Structures are given as structure tokens and as C-alpha cells.
Amino acid sequence: MKAAKMREMTVDELRLQETQLQDQIFRLRFQIAASQAENPAKVHLLRKDLARVKTVLRQKLGPRVPERVGNAAAQVQPAAAAPPPAPARKAEPVKAKARSKAKAAAEGSAPAAGKRAGRATSSREAKGPKQGAKR
């Protein structure tokens, strides 16, 4: 269906069209899963029509404004009553987490070779051999 025709429809008609398209897409997806659909590509067309309907509905209804819970006047604080900003704290120096290559060599362990040193390269290596598997 063309967007021009949809713009001529009322909001109630558009909502009805939206639910009908959603139902058609739902039924067609089941038919595709059961390999009974005559035209599986129709899902693409239905989804585009549904998007057009939703777009026209949004244009007609305008943007959504979130509703506030409770009294809106009680939630707003005057600018003069706002607390002063907290004083800025100085950043503390970051301590080194990794050992240096020279220190690692002095202790007898192999130095780190790049970013991924010591990590398994695949999930299979990380898991190890399967328990009870005969290879």
C-alpha cells in the first residue's frame, strides 16, 4: 500500500491496519518454518508496509512525550536551591599492574610476548580436552 493512501486513513484505521499486518507476518513466519508458505518473500513486503503504517501513525500523532509520575511541580527544584558542585579531586597516579620484562627475566620466567601472552587463542584451547573423550 502506498504511503499517500495511508495518509488519507484515520488513526483508528491505521491502528487496525497495523494489527492486521502484524498478524499476517506472524502467520507467514509459521508457514515458512513449516515449509508451507507459497511466497516466503512476502514477509519482506509486509514488514515494509508495517513500517510505513507506523511512520504515518507517528506523523499523525506527533512525538511521544514521556509521562511523569506524581506531581511534576514537586519534582522540579529551583535553581537557587541546587547544592554547589563538589570540589574537584586530584587524580591519583596509576600503579603499574604488569611486571617489566627485565624483572620477569631476572626471576626466571619467560617475558610477555605481546598483548595476548598467556591466553589461549581459541575456546577449544581454553577448555582443554573433553572429559572421557577417546582420541
pLDDT digits (tens, 9 = 90+) for 83-96: 667 777 777 766 65
Higher model confidence: residue 49 or residue 106? 49
Q: What is the pLDDT of residue 62?
A: 83
Q: Can you list the domains of the chain with their CATH numbers?
A: 3-61 (1.10.287.310)
Q: How far apart are alpha carbons 25 and 31 in whole angstroms?
A: 10
Task: Provide mean pLDDT across the span 51-77.
Answer: 75
In this structure, the number of other CB atoms found within 10 A of the CB of residue 94 comes to 6
Least confident of 30-39, 89-98, 112-121: 112-121
Flag whether pLDDT at 114 surpasses 60: no
- HEC string of 8-26 equals HCCHHHHHHHHHHHHHHHH
Instruction: Please provide the size of the chain in residues.
Output: 135
Q: What is the DSSP letter of 67?
A: P
